[in-house]
Structure formats: structure tokens, C-alpha cells
Structure 1
Amino acid sequence: MEKLLSSSSDHEILNLLSDGFCHHCHHLLHHRLTLLRNKRKLNGTLYLDEGLESSRDIRDNHVNGSSSNSESYSKRNRKQKDSSSNGHHFDSSSPESLGSKQSDFELWINDGIGGDSKFGNEELDKQKECIRYSQVQCKKDFSLIERVDGKSINVLQGLELHTQVFNPMEQRKIVECIYRLQWRGMQGKLKERTYSKPKKWMRGKGRVTIQFGCCYNYAEDKKGNSPGIVKDEEVDPLPSLFKQMIKRMVRWNIVPSTCIPDSCIVNIYDEGDCIPPHIDHHDFLRPFYTVSFLNQCDILFGKNLQALSPGEFSGPASIPLPVGSVFVINGNGANIAKHCIPSVKSKRISITFRKMDPKKVPYKFLPDPELEGIKPRFISSPKKPVIEIQQQKAQSAESESEYETFSKNRKKMFNVEGEVPPLNGIGRHSFGKFKVNKFGHMQ
């Protein structure tokens, strides 16, 4: 029997066990297998050579199109070397690939984004959310020293990159929502200043934007309104799905509960579209948050960014933004360094969430009660999760040996180098500690 099961695929096992089940029971078994699978992974017992085919890879290609996620590691490395020869390029290929060989079954959380549980099992949803939260990785140690007013400062201080916040199925649901909103805008079914499609009069000009919560002018408009939030213009409120995204980011300690966004702008890029160098207007409080979809792209940072040609820019620091990630822009990275998106090589969508300065909100703006009082679910060092992981490394020599085994398995499984999360919890992981060579490349 054991030999038979080991030679069967996950779908064959699921079909065998759920034969004759109703739709709800089938999904309940699905969830339990997912939890069991992730429990094994978190304990370092799952290896890549188990012969499990991941349908997530197929979904990734469907959602991401020609995304760099589907490129070979060596190809990404060549691109990284080419693009970073003149400055710092922060590699996110390792965390981006982390989890690419996950369970055949997507992990759904009952928070209104990926899908909703039909069983009302609060304990099950807590377990699933713990697992999903444990997969999020965070990098905060971006560094670029430049001279500002005669002083050497880190102009990237305040930047954070959180990866795997939204999984492929959740990304697809969000992208489909955005395309529906775009269609409504094209049909004139959104308020006038919500949807905007400038004429493409030159390369890099003409990306579609959809604004919710407020209308923001990039330049003086026909009515003489200066750049910033236009107080006497109305736009549509935040869509329900976008509010669910905000709630998750607050619950997962990405967005502080003291600065919950009340507006956003959706950027829909076609090939060749870009965002020129700028510092975001101070009508918006810091930090703000950009979520990326469809394809990875690089964002450039620096005190001074140069325009090489229409839509093409150069700068001292280049940071890749993986799909499903949340990029937090704060501190010096928001107030001193300029940033830009060079012409994208393929279709891309981003949502940038921002909180308006209370003194600058539109005259008819009303705060959304659904976004008030949201609290983080996980503290920076979560208590021991429902799915128990082995004791801390420091507790005994035995647990130290287990930690070494776990580290090796983790590196083997995900092909990553650097620090491995401690055994005593499943909280937010760091990207690991990497060395930087003289060219600014991560080692």
C-alpha cells in the first residue's frame, strides 16, 4: 500500500480519498491535505526529489505570461549582470523562487482575496493564514550611500520589499478585477477622473491609470489645478477587493495600523510604458505601498537619475519587483531619492496604495469605516503557531542538530543561500544576509 501511494500523484490520491464525497467535503479534504503538506514542509521533511508535480508552475505561466519568473536562473543572472554593471542591483531571484515548488493545491485564506471558506472553520483559517504568512519574506537592508548637502547618507533607508504576499491564484483574481474596472472606465461607467487613458504621442507616454479615493494631478491641468490632490474632483471609492488587500497587508505587518491607505492608483502598462523620475507629492503621507502583477520589472533609485532616451533611464540602484510582492517606500527612499520605472518590456500592472494628508483630502471625501480599526494579526515575533515546529536551537544540542538538518533541507528545497528562519516560529523571514561585492552585486 505504501509503495502504491508513493507512486501516485497528489490528484490521484485526492480522487481516491474523495470518491463519492459531496462538493463541500471534497474541498474540506483538499484543505486538510494542504495543511498536512505544508506542515511537512515547515518541518523540513519534504524534498524536491519526491516526484511531485506542481500545478503552481503552470498557473504562474498563465498568470505571468512571459514573466521573468519563468526564465531560467542563468538567464536572470545574465540580465542582472548586464543591468547592474553601472550600479547596485538588488537580487530577489532567490526569494522569488522560494515556494515555486509548493503543493499542488493552492492555499486559500478566508480573507476575501484568494477565495472564501464555505465551512466557517475559524481554526482552519487561522492555520492556513499562519502558513501563508510564514512564506512571506522581507528585505529591509537596502543601501546606497550618496552625498546630500555635504553629508554621506543612505538614500535607500526606509525601503522594504515583501515577497509572496499574494499567491498566483490571488494575483489572477486581482488582475481580472482590474481588467473589469478598465472596461468599465472605457465604457464611461466610472466617474470622469477615475479612469484616464492619455494618447500615446511618444515612447513611454500613455499608460492607463485608474484612481480611487482621490484625483491626483501629475501636472497642472486644463482648469489650472496645480500638481497634487484635486479637492473639488470626485472619483470612485476603493473597490471591495482592494480593501481586502489593505486588510491583509495590515494584518501581516506590512502596512502600519497608524497609516492605513485611503486611496490608490492603478497603473496598467503596455510594452514600452514607463514612469519618469520623481518624488511622490507630499499631499500623501509616508509610507506608500506598490503591489506588482503580471510581470517583474526593475525600479531605479538615486539622488539623481538620468534620462538616456524616451522611456529609458539610468540610476545607481536597481531593485527588481517580483509579481505578488509589496514594495514599501518610506524614509529617505521616499523623500530624498528619486525613483522611476524604465520602459517595461512586457505588460505589467501595479497598484500603489497611499494615505492622503488629512488637510488635503477632497471636499466630499468620507473615510471608509471598513478600513478603520484594523489591527495586525501577527506580532513581529509570533507566538508558537498551531502547527508546532521543533524547539529553539539554543535549548539543547539535539535541537541544534535539528536546526542544521533543517537548514540543509531548506537550502536544498528552495535553492537559496543565506540565513534560514529559526525553528521556533513561522513569522516573517528575512532574505538572509548576503555579501555585496565591489560592483554592488549580491553574493
Structure 2
Amino acid sequence: MGDGVPAGSGSGSGSGSDDPFLRKYQRSELRIASEFLTTWLPFLSRDLCPGCTDSLADRIRSLDSEVDGDAELAKPEENVDPLSPDVKGEQGMDENGIDNRNLGESGDDEGETNSLGSWKDGAQGCFEGTPKASTSSLAQESPSVRTSSSHMSWADMAQEDELEEEDDQESNKRLADTNGLTEESRVSAVSEKPKLPREQREYIRFMNVKRKKDFICLERVDGKLVNILQGIELHTGVFSAAEQKRIVDYVYQLKGMGKRGELKERTYTAPQKWMRGKGRITIQFGCCYNYATDRNGNPPGILQNEMVDPLPHLFKVIIRRLIRWHVLPPTCIPDSCIVNIYEEGDCIPPHIDNHDFVRPFCTVSFLSECDIVFGSKLKIKAAGEFDGPYKVPLPVGSVLVLNGNGAGVAKHCVPAVPTRRISITFRRMDESKRPKDYVPEPDLQGIQPLQYEAERSKRSNSYETDQHSRRYLPRRGAYNGSRGYIERNDPRSEPHYSLQIHRGPSSRRRVRVNVDS
């Protein structure tokens, strides 16, 4: 297992049978507690030292390991991978060296490869890496996993707790029958809950995604007033808590594989921390991106002669979700990604993403919320501290899309994070910049977005934005950052003018104008 998983988590003994306190709770209750506390971890650990934060995080993860322990006792001969869909290959192995046997994607599902719900994932999992990395070819390089017959599509993951509870009830019923306890009260208590078809559940979740696309920050660029945030979008509700946990667990598994040398040399990078904010861990898939001119004189950009591991299947599932749920367009399907693993104090300095990658691209945030700062001119105040005209909070599980001016005019940066954070940035390479031996992923071709009342949703969002804009237009002065509201006749407003429009917390809209004389 990778770092971030408590020691002994693979040897749980039932629903907390080693702990008198946990013994009172069912597996489903432990899983709910684990996911709830994981979401609240940034708040619970806010004033704790790093060591205490790590201990608390490990204790929370151990709750889920108790559930995994039950699964292992029930099927000791199987290791479960919750990550990869089944792509048939020699002896059950896919093209990345991942064993997908018994993951539930049979030939009957081959006609539904464009549907996210057709990817079957195990309900819980343990990850095992290959003893050593192969260097023969890109297609042979990736984690090696043994899987069980537990099936769960990503659409099912939204109801994972309910399914776990039903499984507990069924187990109790079988135990009662074995012991001869067949009273009507015991049997009648076990009833199946109504279950919506996968397509309906996906439809409900898709329609409940919140999308903010009206970011405005006006700055003078080359003598013209420009909305530097044109093209920025923030999508929330794309990933459930269970999905987020699955992704985070996998990232820590990849981290462990990288530390053990089981990934290609340029896939995993963990620089030594020589100062605050420097040295975050990165894991690259699809291409090797060079952040700065290296010792061989290669400029920043994609290194066409360097190979890294291909996209793992879990990340392909994420990409399919992003396209199908109208987060990224089908004309810009990502073929590479970079995982950033932040520890407390890590940051990303001001930059514009290299144009070896086409626009748009997106970043998904996990573990904790942080701000991303935008501006045509960003100032470095100190190590990990940056000053800019506009901050966008990135909630846990949110997807930030960068396009237009937001990806080409405005620089962006991430100030020092207060606690652990993971981000995954998905980008599409310019075809002329791809590595020489790059082969497009067949299962990422031709993905199409869902057609669920898209036009009605667009009209509704447009009308709501227009109504709130007229209603909340301020009459007195303007908000000028740390200097507060300035009257219109105040001479301070001449060199710098900013305007902010506030909504309620459910649909907040912020408009800021900066005009430098």
C-alpha cells in the first residue's frame, strides 16, 4: 500500500472486533463515519500540529480498514482493486499491466463504453504493485493489481452506503436462518430498498451539478480593459464523497509505488524540500512535462524523447465523467494529467500553463479547500505568499476549468496550503508536441456529452445571472480590496477602481474591476 494508509489496515478483523468502541457499529456505519470525518478533516485538524493531523487522518482511515477487513475475511484469497474497469487482455491483464479479472465488465457491456456507468469498480480494495518497474515499453508500465468479483459502477457510488447497509441486512438474515431464528419479525425486518436504474441516478446527479461561469475581473492589458477571467468555470457536485475517497486512496497508492521505484523514472518526482513551499510531489501520466530548463538544456514544455506511464484506468474514468457531464468539451478530451500532492506549506508560484497543452484544461481538488489567485500581474510577497486581484475558492471535489483569457492572459498561483491537498490537472497535448512514441488511448476516443435538457439548463442559468446582476448592482462607491469601499468622488479611486457585486452564499457572484493608470 502507498503512504497515507495506516499500518495494519489490510488486516482488519471484522467491524472493529479489536476495539470495544467500534464493536457496537455495523460496517455501513463505520464507512459512513469514515467518509464524513474525511470530509471534515481540514476543520477538525485546523489548529493541530502536523504530527497530530497525520495521526487523526490515519485514525479516520482505519475506520474504513475495519470494513475492508470484513471483506478480506470473507474472501481471503482475493485482493480487491476499486479502480480499474475491465479491459480484456492476455491472462486477464489490460494494456497497463493491471489485472482486471472479475471486475464485472463482460462482453455485454462492450456496446456501452461511452457510458461512465459501464465501468465497473470494486466496492473496496487493496493495491499491490509489481516487484519492479518494467522499462521495455510504455504500454507495459503501470501498477499491477489483482481484483475481486465485487462490482460497482461510478453511478452506483452515490448510493454506496445504502448498498452496504442492505448487504449487512442480508447477512443478518442468513445468520438468523442458520441459527433457526426464523421469526416473522426477523424476516420482515429485511426488505429490499427501491433502487433507481443507473441511468436515472446518473441523470439526477448530472442535473444537480452546480456550474459557475460568470467570473469577472477587469484589468488593463496592453491599454485595453479586459476580463482576465473570461473562460474560467467552477463545477461542483461532480464527484460524490465515496468517489473522492476512492481517488484519494489511489493517489496515495501511486505515491507508494513511486517511492518504491515501481513507476517510470520521470513519472514520479519528489524533490527534496529545501525551503517552505518547495518540493511538492508530482506524478505525471501521458507525457513528461519539463517545468524549467533542465541540465540537458531542454526548455520548459513536453519532452518528446522522455516516456512516462500511461493514464491509469481510474483517471480515464474521471475523464469520461468530465466529458459526459459537460465539464470539458468532446473536442478537447484530455490525454495526459499531472497529480500534485501537497503537504502543509506547499504552493505553486504564478505561471501560465505551457501552450504545449491546448485549451481548455481543468484541475480537480481533493482533501482540503484552498484558494487559487488570478491576475495579469501577481506579486510574490514572501515564500508561499502571493498577492493578486482575484481569488477563487476551490471546494473539495470541485473542478476548475481554465480557458480563454483565464488560461492565456491571467496568471494563476496557489498560495501555501494550510493542510494536505491533492489536485489532478487534466490536459490535452498539442498533437505536434506529443512524445514520439505516443499512442492515443482507444477507450478515450469519441466520448460524447450527455444530452439531458442541456439547452433548458443553459437558458435557466442565463436568466438567473441577469436577474441577480440587475438586483444587486451597488449604488455607492466600490469595494477596493483591503482599503474598503471608496466614494466615487474620492481621489484614491482614480488610479485604481474596483467593483464587487455580492450574492447570497448559494449563488455568489463577484465582480471586480481593476484599472491601473
Match of 1:376 in 2: 449
Q: 502, 507, 517: which one pairs with 1:442?
A: 502
* SS of 1:183 mapped into structure 2: helix
Correspondences of 1:315-334 after superposition (within 5 Å)? 315-334=388-407
Matched, 1:256 2:329: yes
CA drift of 1:377 comes to 1.6
Q: After TM superposition, list the pairs within 5 Å mapping 1:56-67 onto structure 2.
A: 59-67=35-43
1:269 aligned partner, one-letter code: Y
Structure 2: distance between partners of 1:287 and 1:205:
27
Q: Does 1:242 align with 2:315?
A: yes
- From the superposition, tell whether residues 113 and 147 of structure 1 become closer, same or farther in structure 2 (CA, over 3 Å): farther
Alignment of 1:120-139 (within 5 A): 124-139=197-212
1:295 alignment counterpart? 368
Q: Distance in 2 between matches of 1:312 and 1:253?
A: 34
Q: Where does structure 2 lack aligned partners over 5 or more consecutive residues?
A: 1-27, 48-115, 124-150, 157-194, 480-499, 504-517
Alignment match, 2:235: 162
Residues 56 and 146 from structure 1, CA distance in 2 versus in 1: closer, same or farther, beyond 3 angstroms? farther
What amino acid does structure 2 have at the position aligned with 1:280?
D
Compared CA separation, residues 148 and 112, structure 1 to 2 (3 A): farther
| TM-aligned CA distance change 1:312 to 1:193, over 3 Å | same
The structure-2 alpha-carbon separation of the partners of 1:363 and 1:143, relative to structure 1 and needing over 3 Å to count, comes to: same
Q: Encode CA deviations 1:143-187: one digit per residue, 9 max, x unaligned.
A: 000001110010000000000111111000000010000100000
Q: Is 2:455 the counterpart of 1:364? A: no
Instruction: Deviation per CA, 1:57-85: give whole Å up to 9, x if none.
Output: 862332452159999xxxxxxxxxxxxxx
Aligned length: 314
Alignment of 1:166-245 (within 5 A): 166-245=239-318
CA separation in 1, counterparts of 2:456 and 2:473?
A: 33
Shift of 1:442: 2.4
RMSD: 3.3
Contact 1:205 1:274 in 2 (8 A): yes
Residues 110 and 61 of structure 1: CA distance in aligned 2, closer, same or farther (over 3 Å): farther
Q: 1:421 and 1:138 mapped to 2: Cα distance? A: 12
The CA distance in 2 between the partners of 1:58 and 1:421, in whole Å, is 37
Q: Percent identity?
A: 51
Which whole-Å CA distance do the structure 2 matches of 1:353 and 1:381 have between them?
24
Give the Cα separation in 1 of the matches to 2:44 and 2:319: 26
Q: State the structure with bigger RCO (CA 8 A, min sep 6), 1 or 2.
A: 1
- Does the 8 Å contact 1:200/1:206 carry over to 2? yes
TM-aligned CA distance change 1:68 to 1:126, over 3 Å = farther
**SS in structure 1 of the partner of residue 429 of structure 2:** coil
Partner SS, residue 349 of structure 1: strand
C-alpha distance in 1 between matches for 2:228 and 2:267: 33
Contact 1:160 1:328 in 2 (8 A): yes
1:228-247 Cα shifts (integer Å, max 9, x gaps): 00000000000100000000
Q: Distance in 2 between matches of 1:69 and 1:126?
A: 38
Over residues 117-148 of structure 1, what are the superposed CA-to-partner deviations in whole Å (9 max), with x where a residue is unaligned? 48x99980100101111221000000000001
Q: Secondary structure at the match of 1:65?
A: helix
5+ long unaligned stretches in structure 1: 1-29, 31-52, 72-107, 385-419, 423-428
Alignment check: 8 A CA contact 1:212 1:238 kept: yes
Equivalent residue runs for 1:407-422 within 5 Å: none
Q: 1:110 to 1:278 in 2, by over 3 A?
A: same
